Amino acid sequence: MLSAMFLFLGGLYQLARLAVLSRFRFRGKYWSWRNHTAFGRGYPKSMLESIRAVLEYGQWVHRMRR
């Protein structure tokens, strides 16, 4: 339970870090590439699925940077 919370918070931190590093240019080259590679075959059907996918990506980044 505690490790899941730590992973969730770490994922949020990594997403905030990426936003700062990209200077919040979410339509810039990096985020356009990221969206294309993540959702190249079609975007999720609902906003909840999109949010879940973004949070999973943040958690993955957190695990890779440990």
Average pLDDT over residues 25-30: 90
Q: Residue 56: its pLDDT value, please?
A: 94
Name the pLDDT band for 24 (thresholds 50, 70, 90).
very high
Query: So where are the chain's domains?
Result: 2-65
Give the contacts of 18 (CB within 8 A, at least 6 positions apart): 61
Q: CA Rg, the chain, in Å?
A: 13
DSSP per-residue string spanning 40-66:
TT---SSHHHHHHHHHHHHHHHHHHH-
Average pLDDT over residues 10-18: 95
In this structure, of 22-26, 36-40, 58-62, the range with the lowest mean pLDDT score is 36-40
